[in-house]
């Protein structure tokens, strides 16, 4: 027997199988009208070769292109499985479960279990948001966000909410309002609220103020506590829920109160406080007794910068808290005055004085005395100006003034009030020595003899005036009188004393001086008898005088020197009036250069000597106007 190489045999077999498969692939299967699978006509067999019809549960593998060897393998496997099933059935009495079923069943069970578990987690809210809440009993709990929101979304008051002592927890807003209103008194038994200002109490008048309860406002406030608005995050939700739980342990109390309609309280408060001075008032001297030098003082008043809206709000808050009797401190800044009664008593006194000697002329002294009486005790307020013409007034006979010698146009004349320039000049000296400044001053036509040169101040109503201003922060009081016993005019000024014992002096210096004119000027007087003479102006030299206000310390050392005025006096010739009235009523002629008369009858004796008349002195008086 010929031996065959197994490897060659296997290769040949493999090639045979491949050829078989290629052949089968070239075959096609189609479905005829009888729904039977047949081979194409090219490969059809005779009827005698047609295989017998198989049972419906058997598969004709030849139609699927399966080789006979493959069919045998499949049939063998099926037979083996069938035999195994028979043996399993004989052994257990039950048909054997197919392997596929054995594999699929556990997988299906596992899938069912997983599905059930996830369904359980979803049902129990495992995947839902939660918050950690603090409960009323002190414990903590995990709550679903939806449940917490639902709990807080009630239309009733939360437990632990009280209004006017009434527990409104679980009530609607309407129910709560009805319960609160039923327990409210109709009106306050007594409203007696006062305002406290600077240690004093002032009662408020509420007779015209109407009240009403703020019930709606309080109920809304209580209802909105921890109430959801819709835009809360989980943090806000936790806070609100915890707050509601805390109310059960520590209830929240609300109180209703009477409130004022419209602006009743503000109007009442404003009406009361508007009576007070808003600015401080300094203490001041109201009266002065020139004889005793005693004065009375109006006490100072403190000022107030009052905050009326803030004070009104405090009163409203008091009413809202149901306190209808009590005191409210006024919201105000207290402003103290600069000058007090104590400071006046400590610093007030005589600050300057001046005197001047008068003549023996009774009319002139009468006028000086009268002018002093009008000034005596005059109080000049701080910042005000003193006017000699306004204070002394017009010089008329009805006001007690008489005719006396006055200087007008550089010569002596008779006029009402003659001599009062000595009073204004004496006052001028006192003003400068008090450290004050004259605002209007006029020198005489030529120097006066009753005061140092350059320190005079002439007046002529209403054209020439003497004025000064009170530049201190206290009153200036003028004290003036004429002493008959020594014929002296006195002027004193009282006010706030100069600091540190200082004094002020009035000093003047002549900076230029001319010669006295020797020429005499003659003028006729048609009312004087012919030949009578009267000197109406004495000769005066021209000069310039500068005056100073000088401060000294308590040791007499000069501190400051201030130039205050320059007085220019022009030169005047002597002026003599000569009478020209003749006995027959006619007038003689006067030579104004020589003073000689012409046209005088020879029968009329000529005067041997000129004598002064009683109208005016023959030379300048010791004191002029």
Question: Tens of pLDDT along 552-588?
Answer: 999 999 999 999 999 999 998 998 999 999 999 999 9
Nearest 5°: the CA angle 231, 234, 240 is 80
Does residue 361 or residue 186 have the better pLDDT?
361
| pLDDT for res 420 | 96
pLDDT of residue 21: 47
Confidence at 31, pLDDT banded by 50, 70, 90: very low
Asked whether the predicted pLDDT for residue 370 surpasses 90, the reply is yes
More confident call, 107 vs 595 = 595
CB-based contacts of 139, cutoff 8 Å, min separation 6:
none
Q: Highest mean pLDDT: which of 94-108, 142-156, 312-326, 548-562?
A: 548-562
What pLDDT does residue 60 have?
Answer: 56
Give me 331's structure tokens. Answer: 């919201």
For the chain, the residue count is 625
Q: Strands 140-144 and 161-163, how do they pair?
A: unpaired
What SS3 class is residue 487?
Answer: coil
Query: Residue 35 has what pLDDT?
Result: 39
Q: List pLDDT tens digits, range 291-300.
A: 898 999 999 9
**Mean local confidence (pLDDT), 448-457:** 94
86-121 in b/e form (b: 16+ CB < 10 A) is eeeeeeeeeebeeeeeeeeeeeeeeeeeeeeeeeee
User: DSSP string spanning 40-68?
Assistant: -GGG---GGGPPPPPPTTS--GGGGT--H
Please give the pLDDT value at position 67: 57
pLDDT in tens, 400-449: 999 987 766 666 677 898 999 999 999 999 999 999 999 999 999 888 88
Q: How confident is the model at residue 38 (pLDDT cuts 50, 70, 90)?
A: very low
Percent of the chain with pLDDT over 90: 52
Any idea where the domains of the chain sit in the sequence?
133-298, 344-598
Confidence of residue 121 (pLDDT cuts 50, 70, 90): low
Beta bridge partners of 149: none
Burial bucket for residue 356 (CB in 10 Å: 0-12, 13-18, 19+): buried
């Amino acid at each position: 027997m010929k031996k065959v190489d197994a490897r060659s045999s296997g290769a040949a077999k493999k090639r045979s199988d491949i050829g078989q498969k290629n052949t089968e692939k070239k075959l096609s299967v189609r479905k005829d009208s009888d729904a039977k699978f047949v081979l194409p006509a090219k490969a059809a067999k005779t009827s005698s070769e047609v295989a017998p019809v198989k049972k419906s549960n058997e598969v004709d593998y030849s139609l699927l292109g399966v080789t006979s060897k493959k069919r045998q393998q499949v049939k063998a496997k099926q037979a083996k499985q069938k035999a195994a099933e028979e043996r399993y059935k004989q052994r257990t009495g039950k048909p054997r479960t197919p392997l596929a079923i054995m594999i699929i069943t556990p997988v299906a069970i596992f899938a069912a279990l997983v599905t059930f578990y996830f369904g359980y987690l979803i049902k129990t809210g495992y995947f839902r948001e939660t918050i950690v809440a603090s409960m009323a009993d002190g414990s903590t709990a995990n709550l679903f966000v939806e449940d917490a929101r639902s709990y807080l979304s009630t239309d009733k008051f939360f437990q632990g909410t009280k209004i006017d002592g009434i527990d409104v927890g679980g009530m609607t807003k309407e129910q709560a309002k009805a319960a609160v209103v039923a327990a409210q008194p109709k009106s306050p038994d007594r409203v007696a609220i006062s305002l406290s200002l600077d240690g004093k109490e002032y009662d408020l008048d509420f007779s015209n103020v109407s009240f009403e309860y703020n019930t709606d406002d309080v109920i809304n406030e209580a209802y909105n506590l921890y109430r959801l608005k819709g835009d809360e995050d989980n943090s806000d939700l936790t806070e609100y829920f915890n707050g509601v739980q805390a109310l059960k342990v520590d209830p929240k109390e609300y109180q209703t109160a009477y409130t004022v309609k419209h602006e009743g309280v503000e109007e009442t408060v404003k009406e009361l406080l508007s009576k007070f001075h808003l600015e401080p008032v300094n203490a001041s001297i109201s009266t002065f007794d020139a004889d005793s030098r005693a004065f009375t003082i109006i006490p100072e008043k403190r000022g107030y910068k009052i905050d009326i809206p803030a004070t009104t709000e405090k009163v409203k808050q008091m009413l809202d808290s149901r306190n209808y009797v009590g005191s409210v401190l006024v919201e105000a800044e207290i402003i103290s005055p600069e000058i007090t009664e104590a400071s006046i008593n400590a610093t007030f006194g005589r600050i300057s004085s001046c005197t001047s000697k008068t003549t023996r002329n009774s009319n002139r002294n009468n006028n000086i005395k009268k002018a002093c009486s009008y000034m005596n005790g005059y109080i000049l307020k701080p910042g005000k100006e003193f006017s000699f013409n306004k204070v002394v007034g017009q010089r008329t006979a009805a006001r007690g003034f008489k005719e006396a010698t006055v200087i007008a146009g550089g010569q002596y004349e008779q006029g009402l009030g003659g001599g009062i320039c000595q009073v204004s000049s004496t006052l001028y000296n006192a003003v400068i020595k008090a450290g004050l400044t004259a605002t209007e001053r006029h020198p005489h036509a030529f120097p006066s003899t009753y005061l140092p040169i350059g320190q005079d101040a002439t007046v002529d109503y209403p054209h020439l005036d003497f004025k000064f201003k009170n530049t201190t922060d206290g009153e200036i009081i003028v004290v003036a009188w004429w002493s008959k016993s020594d014929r002296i005019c006195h002027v004193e000024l009282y006010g706030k004393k100069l600091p540190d014992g200082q004094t002020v002096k009035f000093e003047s210096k002549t900076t230029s001086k001319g010669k006295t004119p020797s020429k005499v000027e003659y003028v006729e007087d048609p009312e004087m008898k012919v030949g009578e003479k009267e000197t109406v102006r004495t000769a005066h030299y021209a000069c310039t005088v500068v005056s100073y206000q000088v401060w000294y310390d308590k040791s007499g050392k000069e501190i400051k020197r201030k130039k205050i005025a320059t007085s220019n006096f022009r030169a005047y010739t002597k002026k003599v009036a000569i009478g020209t009235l003749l006995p027959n009523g006619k007038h003689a002629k006067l030579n104004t250069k020589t003073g000689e008369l012409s046209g005088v009858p020879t029968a009329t004796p000529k005067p041997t000597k000129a004598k002064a008349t009683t109208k005016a002195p023959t030379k300048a008086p010791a004191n002029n106007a």
